[in-house]
Copies of this chain bind each other. A is one copy, B any other.
Amino acid sequence: MAKTWHEWEKPLLDLEEGIQKLRDLVPKAPPDKAAQLEKQIEEFEKKRDTFLRVKYGRLGPWERTLVARADNRPYTLDYVRAIVTDWVELHGDRRYGDDKAMIAGLGKIDGISCVIVGQQKGRDLKQRQFRNFGMAKPEGYRKAIRMFEMADRFGLPVISFIDTPAADPGVDSESRGISEAIAAGMSSLFGVGVPTIAVIIGEGGSGGAIGIGACNRVLMLENSIYSVIPPEGCAAILWREPTAGDKAASALKLTAQHALDLGLIDEIIPESFGGAHRNPAETAKNVEEAVVRHLRELMVYDRDTLRTDRYAKFRAMGVFTADEAFTL
């Protein structure tokens, strides 16, 4: 079982690299040789597609975890670029700072002005540090809350893109009340009288995710994950083996399908063939279609109904039995 994203993708990447090499030869080759190359390329591509179909056709919880975390997976700003027009990024919590791990702004989706928030990961090392690996600090959640309140004030829907391993657990986050910030994020989302839609596009990491995720509709990309704890953390606690992430991923049931089966999310958005990173544009189209459809459904409701709906939705979550006669 692959332990890392690169281990998991390597055979595919090798194949794709080979195909690219052959393709580079075509223009330089004589006509008959070129035709032969084209045929070869076609064969390899078929092979790759079969490989992809097998590999991505029945991903297990751990493989999805790897895909959800892939460093070439589309991030929040990629979706913003793909589906949002008239984008204006807004910054700052008006309290302490501007958190680069949490983006926020105003933009139109299908012509509808919305407030958009979301965690942002970085693709290269420098960007990753700049974005704090997508781990927002208190000021990130407080920026989001400022946006939620603005959305409520001006009747704008909220679209929340979730992609975070966790909220930032560092000493400075603790000192400024990361717990309070997450709790307040949920509280704010339960208060707004506008449609709210969360889309989990990669990692839905615990409190860091739900802090901007308590929405009227919660959608998950096919290969995203949503979990109360990172599988490695769970493995470390339960079995003292942080490397048993695959085992924990299975136990935690952190896939979109599991979340849907448990009634905790509303819809799974399909990714492009072979994962969102293989065709970000196509995946973004799917995201846009789903978001707009849910948005149009929600926009007919009045403020109270939207609030009541949200309350009822989360109030019903939980599985237990009532056994009035207590016996040990």
A-B complex: 6 closest residue pairs judged by Cβ atoms: A94-B180, A96-B176, A95-B95, A94-B177, A95-B177, A96-B96
Shortest Cβ distance from residue A326 to the other chain B in the assembled complex, whole angstroms? 37
Question: Which A residues lie at the B interface, using CB under 8 A?
Answer: 94-96, 138, 142, 176-177, 180
Hey, which chain B residues are within 8 Å of A95, CB to CB? Answer: 95-96, 138, 142, 176-177, 180
Taking the full assembly, how many copies of this chain does it contain?
Answer: 2
Hey, which chain B residues are within 8 Å of A142, CB to CB? Answer: 95
Name the residue on B nearest A92 (C-beta). B177
Hey, which chain B residues are within 8 Å of A96, CB to CB? Answer: 95-96, 176-177
> Can you give 12 contacting A-B residue pairs, CB < 8 Å?
A94-B177, A94-B180, A95-B95, A95-B96, A95-B138, A95-B142, A95-B176, A95-B177, A95-B180, A96-B96, A96-B176, A96-B177
Docked CA distance A113–B235 (Å): 51
Docked CA distance A265–B243 (Å): 69
Docked CA distance A94–B138 (Å): 11
Shortest Cβ distance from residue A140 to the other chain B in the assembled complex, whole angstroms? 13
Q: Apart from A94-B180, A95-B180, what are 4 other A-B pairs with CB-CB below 8 Å?
A: A95-B96, A95-B138, A95-B177, A96-B96
Shortest Cβ distance from residue A144 to the other chain B in the assembled complex, whole angstroms? 15
Shortest Cβ distance from residue A25 to the other chain B in the assembled complex, whole angstroms? 59
Interface centre among A94, A95, A142 (most CB of B within 10 A): A95
Name the residue on B nearest A181 (C-beta). B95
Shortest Cβ distance from residue A187 to the other chain B in the assembled complex, whole angstroms? 12
Name the residue on B nearest A139 (C-beta). B95
Docked CA distance A22–B26 (Å): 116
Name the residue on B nearest A142 (C-beta). B95
Hey, which chain B residues are within 8 Å of A177, CB to CB? Answer: 94-96
Hey, which chain B residues are within 8 Å of A94, CB to CB? Answer: 177, 180
Docked CA distance A138–B94 (Å): 11
Docked CA distance A176–B175 (Å): 14
Name the residue on B nearest A184 (C-beta). B94
Shortest Cβ distance from residue A174 to the other chain B in the assembled complex, whole angstroms? 12
Docked CA distance A95–B95 (Å): 8
Hey, which chain B residues are within 8 Å of A138, CB to CB? Answer: 95
Hey, which chain B residues are within 8 Å of A180, CB to CB? Answer: 94-95
Docked CA distance A177–B98 (Å): 13
Name the residue on B nearest A176 (C-beta). B96
Shortest Cβ distance from residue A89 to the other chain B in the assembled complex, whole angstroms? 20
Shortest Cβ distance from residue A164 to the other chain B in the assembled complex, whole angstroms? 21
Hey, which chain B residues are within 8 Å of A176, CB to CB? Answer: 95-96
Docked CA distance A180–B93 (Å): 11
Shortest Cβ distance from residue A296 to the other chain B in the assembled complex, whole angstroms? 34
Shortest Cβ distance from residue A193 to the other chain B in the assembled complex, whole angstroms? 17
Docked CA distance A180–B95 (Å): 8
Name the residue on B nearest A183 (C-beta). B94
